[in-house]
Amino acid sequence: MQRGSDSFTFSAFGYDLHIRDELVAGAFASLPEQEQQILILRFVAAMADGEIGGLVEMSRSAVQCRRTKTLNELRQRLEDSGGRNAK
């Protein structure tokens, strides 16, 4: 994670995710690196689970399961932190 002038930057496989909200950036930073990579590849690079699996050496179904679990954990962390509209 790098702190820029107006956002936090997370990188995976040459793709950058910029997060402006400090609470969201903190929650994202607390995720394990592989989970961060999966989310960046899905939502920044718009890759399908099978493509992501090829990069992170996991099956398509494992990527899907990990992504779903990670998004739920991230949502819960934000709700627990008093995040606004984390649903």
The residue ranges of every structural domain in the chain are: 2-80
What is the CATH number that goes with domain 2-80?
Answer: 1.10.10.10
pLDDT number for residue 20: 93
54, 63 contact by CB (below 8 A): no
From residue 11, give the alpha-carbon distance in Å to each of 1, 17, 36, 69: 7, 6, 9, 20
pLDDT number for residue 81: 81
Residue-wise pLDDT for 6-43, tens only, equals 889 999 999 999 999 999 999 999 999 999 999 999 99
Residue 69, helix vs strand vs coil: helix
pLDDT number for residue 6: 81
Indicate if the pLDDT at residue 1 is higher than 80.
Answer: no
Indicate if the pLDDT at residue 4 is higher than 60.
Answer: no
- Distance between CA atoms of 64 and 39, rounded to whole angstroms? 10
Residue-wise pLDDT for 36-82, tens only, equals 999 999 999 999 999 999 999 999 999 999 999 999 999 998 998 87
